Structure 1
């Protein structure tokens, strides 16, 4: 990522065709679904939209590889449309859009470099495991020599520092103990403080 300390523009995770209101003249009249709005790294704004297929990759019945293949077929269409708008904006000469602000080339680069998947996994926690093991892990840590994601997990444990492994062992033991008692805590702040104290002990 090229902007470690910013920029952090406003971003809405629910900005998609279903939430855009069109009037009788087929012009945008409004946008709904702003409850998932926050500030995000600028790279998030430079990723191509996942909704080109109207279905998220983790729900694609034919699998992630097929989703990617279908997405790649549609990506040039939207990039071409964006480029057309960019050309018009750049040619107006009133500073509406500068060359460095073009999204089309940045979106293409995000897809080709696979940065798209980092941004997607960060914003879709329910899909994180599937996306991480299929699209992110090997990019940064190389092949684990296995197609089995569970085996990958165990092999990756060897990358942890001894202190990190020790904390993980403590965490696993505590979770197994809690599974036996199944105590429900109503005070998350107190619970977290107590949990951290146990981890440090």
Structure 2
């Protein structure tokens, strides 16, 4: 389902206005001031550093050769900037204290006239995605080098496998974002996800259309994600549907998906739950190319405690591409044909790492992931979790993989409509007219004032 072009244009304008104001007010001086506030020492200079999708970053150099990054959450790229920043700071501190995952040190955090910021240690290294990407593809996002040897790929996958195992070990009793209470870390806020940010910024959903609290059971959380997909279809005013048949298929898919997820979490419905990062991938891994080891994992803003199923499915990042890019050049079946050999290679490496960690006494046999990930492709759990987490890919995933798996061969949309309950069929009868009226008006609902948006 395409996002709302008017919503995306508005957020682009918000970002451009924010960035223009930011660059007009000596951001290097601001970065040096904030760095010194949280890390003492004589500062020599500051310069613009590599920006991410949601942040603007400055590198600050000290006389003692220390470097820090001052990272500003960008207005128009992230809507809940303060929440996003608070979540990432807490996760970074938790990971440094309770895991072996290497992450930058947080020197401090706060809010300035430009919005929330983090001052953190600068880590040298090359992005793993740059090491693995196709050098012949000059434009767009990186894709895996099709000519890379299995030996080279195994070395990279081994480093990722260690991180995946380490990240999956912490356990929690409910689903949501971590907060720090004294020396303890507990789940105390709603799970702020990458998809929630996309729906607010690019589909113009209201705050009430996304989760607002923690969850006690995985079943409740999966159903909330399914309801979020329905809210997306109902409330995105523009670019939501193309015609009545398209509208029917999108509504039916969301209703039937809601039925699927009600029974998807059986073994782990009441926990324990696992720490999960929506944006964990090679593009956020800094490596020392000479020794080929991980120096740090960065960009933890959309990290939360999630259903165990999220940690147990095969990783989506093996080909470097994000799910929304999978069918940009071909269909999903073609992508899957290229993905499966890489998955087999990764699982072989993961099993070897599991054996090694168990022999060392740093991993329990019950914490193995490889067999669960392999099974997730056969059971369809891989596609269920992916569909739950990605609104932009939902319809392609549902109709390509889930519908036939759960409801048998597709005959006609009328046959699928018969699987809906009476209330769903009643809504279906009128939803196309609602979508046409929304699109005819060509407007956006206003959910935030400018002042409120700046303060979020």
- 1:132 equivalent to 2:392? Answer no
- 1:55 equivalent to 2:315? Answer no
Which residue does the alignment assign to 1:15? 280
- 3-state secondary structure, aligned to 1:34: coil
1:43 to 286, 305, 309: 309
1:89 to 336, 357, 368: 357
The alpha-carbon deviation at position 11 of structure 1 amounts to: 0.9
Take 2:330 and 2:432, find their aligned partners in 1: how far apart are those partners? 34
- 3-state secondary structure, aligned to 1:125: coil
Aligned counterparts, 1:1-201, within 5 A:
1=265, 2-23=267-288, 24-56=290-322, 58-59=326-327, 61-92=329-360, 94=361, 96-145=362-411, 151-152=412-413, 154-182=414-442, 184-187=444-447
**How large is the Cα RMSD of the aligned pairs?**
2.1
Report if the CA contact (8 A) 2:327-2:335 is conserved: no
> TM-score, normalization: structure 1?
0.79
Structure that is richer in strand per residue: 2
> TM-score, normalization: structure 2?
0.37
The alpha-carbon deviation at position 109 of structure 1 amounts to: 1.0
The alpha-carbon deviation at position 52 of structure 1 amounts to: 1.8
Report if the CA contact (8 A) 1:12-1:34 is conserved: yes
C-alpha spacing 1:175/1:63, structure 2 compared with 1 (3 Å): closer
Unmatched segments (≥5 aa) in structure 1? 146-150, 189-201
- 3-state secondary structure, aligned to 1:159: coil
The alpha-carbon deviation at position 183 of structure 1 amounts to: 5.0
Take 1:7 and 1:35, find their aligned partners in 2: how far apart are those partners? 22
Unmatched segments (≥5 aa) in structure 2? 1-264, 449-456
Structure that is richer in helix per residue: 1
C-alpha spacing 1:138/1:187, structure 2 compared with 1 (3 Å): same
Take 1:52 and 1:184, find their aligned partners in 2: how far apart are those partners? 37
